[in-house]
Amino acid sequence: MNILLTSAGRRTYLVRYFKEALKKAGVSGLVHGANSQESPALAAADRKVITPLIYSREYIPFLLEYCKQEKIDLLLPLFDIDIPVLADSRKAFEEIHTTVVTGDKDQVRICNDKWKTLSFLRSLDLPVPASWLSGKEAAQAVKTGQARWPLMVKPRWGMGSLSLYQASNEEELLIFEAKIRREIQENYLKYEAAQDLEHCVLIQEKLKGREMGMDVFNDLDGRFQGAAVKEKKAMRSGETDEAVTVDESALWELGRRLGEKIGHRGNLDVDVFDCEGRFYVLEMNARFGGGYPFSHCGGADLPLALVLWALGRPVPGDILRVKPGVRAWKDIQIQVEKSL
């Protein structure tokens, strides 16, 4: 069995997890890493390939040919910008017997578009932070007592802490709104933001409470199989840097509901705020997120489950369970490129 991780970047731990999964499953195979430039994960992979840029016309044809030539069984995108592009071409990959592990294009857009995320969550009667697509409307909401400062300002299509700001008054809010619009045009966010440039900035109330993370596990048919819940203890650049696994039955049940309604494949990374027992879903990503390693350290092994599902084998229930109270941190390591 051969596995390809696209936009692999610095996620060397996922390369390692999938290598270990193949060994645990007792099957031979290689873990390939793909990226548009050299990166640590490529150095850790069994094989690497430099791809065209995601929004290049050559990107999908290049990957299709690579997957066909290398007999790739599972393809996992690890970058939000990559996911909708691959989701749109999922059937073409299926024709060459490569399974793209993500949702379909509608499921993916619910996750990538934070405004659509809010609409989806409201349709399930789940609490969400007050949100606006206009700085002036948000400021007016504060004036009428419907909201209060500070407000969070960020790209509607964004990730991590890229272009994320906190506004303490109307002047700051309007400045940050304009600043984010400029920044979007200067980086890769411009591609998805092109869908609605007039409403490409999202303003939200700032939530106060315990910051939680969930990994929602679905099988390759989009059926819910489990969830892992963590309390975030430290963040860095919008990613979980320290966390502890917890036993929160209410959050697990929320994960089940989301997994069943969205029907994604593989992992759904969910950010949640626990505001005195009321759970607010903030964002969702249809991929392995930066918080997955903490679930893995707690005992869950989604890479192994994905390999077993792809092989048509049963997955023991304990493979996707976490032990509560496991605390872990991310560290800095040096990856040396393999000698040619």
Task: Please check whether residues 51 and 66 belong to one and the same domain.
Answer: yes
175 part of a folded domain: yes
Whether 124 is in a domain gets the answer no
Task: Read off the pLDDT of residues 70-82 as tens digits, 9 standing for 90 and up.
Answer: 999 999 999 999 9
Q: Mean pLDDT across the stretch 164-173? A: 98
Instruction: Examine residue 176 and state whether it is found in any structural domain, yes or no.
Output: yes
Looking at the predicted structure, is the pLDDT value of residue 44 above 60? yes
240 and 288 both lie in a single domain: yes
Collect all residues with Cβ–Cβ distance below 8 Å to 128 and sequence separation of at least 6.
118, 121, 122, 280, 281, 282
193 within a domain of the structure (yes/no): yes
The secondary structure of 271-287 as a DSSP string is: EEEEETTEEEEEEEESS
Q: Is 335 domain-assigned?
A: no
Examine the pLDDT at 337 and tell me if it is beyond 80.
no
Residues 241 and 278 in one domain: yes
SS3 110: helix
Q: State whether residue 171 is helix, strand or coil.
A: helix
233 lies in the same domain as 288: yes
Q: Quick one: average pLDDT of 104-133?
A: 97
pLDDT for position 59: 98
Domain that holds residue 138: 130-205
Of 45, 78, 100, the one marking the end of a domain is 100
For residue 313, pLDDT beyond 70: yes
Judge if 265 and 324 occupy the same domain.
yes
Model pLDDT, residue 183? 97
Q: What is the pLDDT of residue 207?
A: 97
Q: How does pLDDT run across 241-254, given as a tens digit for each residue?
A: 999 999 999 999 99
DSSP secondary structure code for residue 324 in this structure: T
Please check whether residues 142 and 193 belong to one and the same domain: yes
Provide the pLDDT confidence category of residue 115 given band limits of 50, 70 and 90. Answer: very high
Residue 118: pLDDT above 50?
yes
The pLDDT of 25-37, averaged and rounded, is: 97
Q: What angle, 0 to 180 degrees and rounded to 10, lies between the N-to-C axes of helices 12-25 and 302-311?
A: 50
CATH number at 175 reads 3.30.1490
The CATH number that applies at residue 88 is: 3.40.50.20
284 is written with which tokens? 């969702």
255/168 same-domain check: no
Considering the domain architecture, whether residues 96 and 160 belong to the same structural domain is answered as: no
Q: Give the CA distances from residue 333 to residues 23, 34, 64, 209, in Å, rounded to whole numbers and listed in that order.
A: 24, 20, 33, 32
Average confidence (pLDDT) over 142-153 = 98
* Residue 119 forms part of a structural domain: no
Q: Which of 205, 232, 251 is the last residue of a domain?
A: 205
Q: State the CATH number of the domain containing residue 215.
A: 3.30.470.20
Closest C-alpha among 257, 242, 248 to residue 297: 242
Are 201 and 211 part of one and the same domain? no
215 and 191 in one domain? no
pLDDT for residue 339 is more than 60: no
Helices (H), the chain: 12-25, 40-44, 59-70, 82-88, 90-94, 105-112, 114-123, 135-143, 170-185, 189-193, 249-262, 292-297, 302-311
Share of the chain above pLDDT 70, in %: 99
Query: What is the crossing angle of helices 135-143 and 170-185, to 10°?
Result: 160
pLDDT at 235: 86
Of 100, 119, 144, the residue that ends a domain is 100
Alpha-carbon span 191 to 85, nearest angstrom: 11
What lies within 8 Å, CB to CB, of 145 at 6+ separation is none
Q: Quick one: 28 and 82 in the same domain?
A: yes
Mean pLDDT for the chain overall: 96
**Region 214-240 average pLDDT:** 94
In a domain, 159, yes or no: yes
Q: Does residue 338 form part of some domain? A: no
In this structure, are strands 266-275 and 278-285 parallel, antiparallel, or unpaired?
antiparallel
> What is the domain count for the chain?
3
pLDDT band at 335 (very low <50, low <70, confident <90, very high): confident
Grade residue 340 by pLDDT with cuts at 50, 70 and 90. Answer: very low
Residues 320, 240 share a domain: yes
Mean local confidence (pLDDT), 289-307: 98
